[in-house]
Structure 1
Amino acid sequence: MTPNPVTYRGKTYKVKMYLYQLYDGSGAVVRIFDEGSSRSGKTFDTADFLYDICASSSVPLKIYCYRATLQDCKEKTLDDFRKKLQLRGVYDSDCMRGENILPEYRIKDSVIRFRGLDKMDVKEGHDCDIVYFNEMLDGVSRAQFDNITMRCTRMVIGDWNPKYTEHWAFHMEGAPDTIFTHTTYKDNPFCPAGVRRTIEGYEPTPENIAAGTADEWRWKVYGLGVRAAQEGLIFPDIDWIDEFPEDIERVVLGLDFGFTADPTACVRVGFRTPNHLYLQELIYQPIDDTSKLYTALSPHFTNGVSRCYADSADKYAKSPESMITAMRIKGLTVIPVRKYPGSVMDGITSMKGCKIHCVRSRNMQIEANSYVWETVNGIAINYPHDEFNHLWDAARYAVQSEFKDLIQIAA
């Protein structure tokens, strides 16, 4: 029998409420991180918890809910919050303010604000009682987390699907006043039957393998809620850093064109002997206009960066003003990369010969955890799959054009 959604409170709700009451008045800040599968009820539990403490509090509470982008925070975090309150019959549209700009929901004298980290400076934060990071593994740097939480006085909440095996958030496990919870879709009595079938279809059983739905990585992450890395990652051992070092003498740019569906990707690439590569995402958006490309690219020709290596497969190469030609006319040294049979693997081999340090960003992490070797009938072949490679192609252009010989010398 399915429980009543009005009165039901989930597993992680009970943990939060217990610790909130336990720590009340202690002066300490408790941190609760909900790690689990898809549809395990993590977000709904937090919505229930935030509503209940605001509704019962004798003092005004100030709460901030964050996600990587303001758009995602409005369309996903806020949407889940509203759905849960509607299921309980307590949602009041008159309590919602600024929904299309900077949303906030008021409960008695308390306020819950929904914000995107893309609209905040890394050093920015707000005084608050509780802070909640929804899908914390994506687009939340350690610097942002530290600066936001240092202004929080009562509780820090984070949740995620564990789709990586390495992340700075995992290092907090076992720290004082820090609790990690684990849930799966089986902990959520409201998980729709169709969604449950889809999730269970990922399990690598003989039946699912025969049906073509089996996916071990998806089963581990979205079914079992355990940390897992994609099989066959091209760059599996990345050191994630918060800032690009300022003391690297030789730095160039790499540029991969994207015009409509695919993004134009620009990466800052630095090299330090022996065999250390430093990468930072600078641009990641479709750009089909030369003026827009110049506006986006030109600010990055600073701090000693004097040249950029670009994809020679320029969509407009045969027109009077190709992308590369247009940048050169405008004064930017953009050089088409030399392509030859085997150049892709040469560039990847050079990069794999280095310790790669990436400045943490949402797009870089997604590509790093999704860029895999091509497979044929389930067998990996020595060639990269042509997806999730925009930033990596941009970086490869710079490495094989500028640093390949240095890497060979240092090897």
Structure 2
Amino acid sequence: MKTNSKIDSLTATFPPHVQKRIDKKTKIIVSLPKKIGKGYKSFWAYKGRYLVTKGGRGSKKSTTAAMKIIYRMMQYPLANTLVVRRFFNTHKDSTYTQLKWATHHFGVAHLWRFSKSPLEATYIPTGQKILFRGLDDPESITSITVEVGFLCWAWFEEVFQVRDEDAFNKIDMSIRGELPPGYYKQLMLTFNPWSENHWLKKRFFDNPDKNTLALTTNYLVNEFLGEDDVDIFNTMKEKNPRRYSIEGLGNWGIADGLVYDNWEEKTFDKDEISKKLGVFSVFGLDFGFTNDPTAMIAALVDPRDEAIYVFDECLAKAQVNKDIAKQIKYMGYGKERIIADGAAPKDVEDLRQMGLTRIKGSLKGPDSINFGIQKIQGYKIYVHPRCEHTIVELSNYVWDNKDGSPINKPIDDFNHLLDALRYAMEPVKVQKKSLLDRYKKM
């Protein structure tokens, strides 16, 4: 089926025993250019094994991937699709909703059944399935079988969160076997390119093989954005050019001059860590509203091993104080000692009166940022994989530069959760061992 024709047919051929029960109309006409928009012709037409798309926010990459899956499954009556994210519980508000939206966008929602237990989508005329899985339950992926046809396609959404290439390879190997003539296997990967150090760059963009199409897209090809959406990018371009390069234009995040190189992503049991002698918890809050989000971070500190374990986070825009208080209580930290941004004493007092009785403002001073950074640099930071925003910030928080040379000042970006961590660590005494090690390095 040609995807560049002005009008294209989306045809559902029903088995005889369900044709009358489902719908008398067996042909639905859609204009693909109108439904999909510009900028995705090669994405839509490609049938090789790896279709890899990095892009900024608002670039249509995820919605176009969802549309392609719905369209192609109705075109190939024996094809089934596996949709994968790092964590299974993130599907409902992302891929599941996007695919459901795509059925309405094409006018075929009455031909699809979406269920939440189990989480799957079924094309009613044929029984084809879209299956949702998470890498946090690998057994559920490697043992997949389908009732009708073949497992042909997989969609990895936000694949940047998959830090382990071996985990991807295991899924890759599960899409195997001979297919009927005209069918093809494909893995679609969509993500925001937060760091150039990710395995995705080396494998699919620096050294692509003949079975790979690697694309970069951005909001400039999305004609469905409103003027207010475009204004957000224009403001970002002016005030945060580094973030605009990544989130706006879809370029790789450059990790030169990281403020923190003493961290790693690691799965750990918070309850087990908290049982260790001397371990205690810290909580930090950084205020934001329109352009900057409000950031809440929770961590355990092990002073003996000089380790920080980041186990929870929250990042949200446009939150007034009552929303912040409600969110913190919902997360279960309403009775904890929280160190918030001391530059907003009125907000701190508001939150105290709303029930966060142990919250207090941080100390402010001319060297407080660098002093707080130096303190945290004396620890090894372990970040739980579910703290996705913290990982993004640690991957992009760098020292500023003047005329191409780094200066002793970090950029004022990718630092909302990390500022919250500085506040959280403020009451923590610096270990003598850390000071001695720092002195030896001078």
- Whether the 8 Å CA contact 2:113–2:122 is kept in 1: the answer is yes
Q: Which runs of 4+ in 1 moved over 6 A?
A: 175-178, 230-233, 245-250, 258-261, 316-321, 372-375
Q: Deviations over 1:171-190 (max 9, x none)?
A: 544488973512335995x7
SS of alignment partner, residue 373 of structure 2: helix
Q: Deviations over 1:382-406 (max 9, x none)?
A: 4774984345433653376144433
Report the equivalent of 1:268: 300
**Aligned pair partner of 1:132 in 149, 155, 161:** 155
Report the equivalent of 1:158: 189
Mapped to 1, the partners of 2:279 and 2:394 lie a distance apart of: 21
Whether 2:35 is the aligned partner of 1:10: answer no
- Whether the 8 Å CA contact 1:278–1:357 is kept in 2: the answer is yes
- Whether the 8 Å CA contact 1:252–1:268 is kept in 2: the answer is yes
- Whether the 8 Å CA contact 2:120–2:129 is kept in 1: the answer is no
| Number of equivalenced pairs | 357
Whether 2:314 is the aligned partner of 1:284: answer yes
Mapped to 2, the partners of 1:318 and 1:152 lie a distance apart of: 53
CA-based RMSD: 5.4
Report the equivalent of 2:128: 110
Report the equivalent of 1:311: 339
Report the equivalent of 2:389: 363
Alignment of 1:3-402 (within 5 A): 4=6, 6=31, 10-15=41-46, 17-19=47-49, 31-37=50-56, 42-43=61-62, 45-57=64-76, 59=78, 61-64=80-83, 66=85, 69-73=90-94, 77-78=98-99, 81-82=102-103, 86=106, 91-98=108-115, 102=119, 104-106=121-123, 108-113=126-131, 121-123=136-138, 125-126=140-141, 127=144, 129=151, 130-138=153-161, 140=162, 142=164, 145-146=167-168, 149=171, 152-154=174-176, 155-170=186-201, 172-173=203-204, 174=207, 179=212, 181-185=214-218, 191-192=223-224, 198=230, 212=238, 215=241, 217-219=243-245, 222-223=248-249, 225-229=250-254, 234-235=259-260, 237=261, 239-244=263-268, 251-257=279-285, 262-270=294-302, 277-284=307-314, 288=325, 292=329, 295=332, 310-311=338-339, 315=349, 323-324=357-358, 339=363, 341=365, 342-352=367-377, 356-360=381-385, 361-368=387-394, 382=409, 385=412, 388-390=415-417, 392-394=419-421, 397-398=424-425, 401-402=428-429
> Unpaired segments of 5 or more residues in structure 2?
8-30, 34-39, 146-150, 177-185, 316-322, 343-347
What is the Cα deviation at residue 92 of structure 1?
Answer: 3.1
Letter aligned with residue 425 of structure 2: A
Mapped to 2, the partners of 1:193 and 1:295 lie a distance apart of: 37
Letter aligned with residue 346 of structure 1: F
- Whether the 8 Å CA contact 1:346–1:400 is kept in 2: the answer is no
Report the equivalent of 1:405: 432
Q: Deviations over 1:44-101 (max 9, x none)?
A: 5533542354234453524335476235315863366346x52xxx623341323799
Mapped to 2, the partners of 1:79 and 1:13 lie a distance apart of: 19
Distance 1:94 1:268, change over 3 A: same
SS of alignment partner, residue 350 of structure 1: helix
Mapped to 1, the partners of 2:349 and 2:164 lie a distance apart of: 38
Distance 1:296 1:142, change over 3 A: farther
Distance 1:338 1:13, change over 3 A: closer
Distance 1:213 1:50, change over 3 A: same
- Whether the 8 Å CA contact 1:265–1:284 is kept in 2: the answer is yes
